[in-house]
Amino acid sequence: NAGVTQTPKFQVLKTGQSMTLQCAQDMNHEYMSWYRQDPGMGLRLIHYSVGAGITDQGEVPNGYNVSRSTTEDFPLRLLSAAPSQTSVYFCASSPRRGGYEQYFGPGTRLTVT
């Protein structure tokens, strides 16, 4: 199993550009989530999904969209990038929401200039 994969590893955007961060898992997990990690802030939840077709907002959803058309994929879209979105983004999955360990991808380091 590849586990949780994320692409790209690094990305530089200009303010106002849009892009999609890809996340895929091959463990047939129902629950997938996106976090951002900023220096000294730990991880903050952006959006999550409890299954195909079902998504919900986390703590910091503004400026981001998600969709879950398949069990395997959970892309994160930045609609109009802003410097405040410079961060490291992690995708994670687990069999269910709550009470299970989460498997993390390697992360995408995004810089918005």
**Where along the sequence are the contacts to other proteins (CB under 8 A)?**
4, 33, 35, 40-45, 48, 56, 58-59, 90, 92, 97-107
Tell me whether residue 44 or residue 77 sits nearer to other proteins (CB atom): 44
**SS in 3 state form for the chain?**
CCCEEEECCEEEECCCCCEEEEEEECCCCCEEEEEEEECCCEEEEEEEEEECCEEEECCCCCCEEECCCCCCECCEEECCCCHHHCEEEEEEEECCCCCCCCEECCCEEEEEC
CB 50 to other proteins: min, Å: 9
Tell me whether residue 16 or residue 56 sits nearer to other proteins (CB atom): 56
CB 88 to other proteins: min, Å: 9
Tell me whether residue 35 or residue 64 sits nearer to other proteins (CB atom): 35
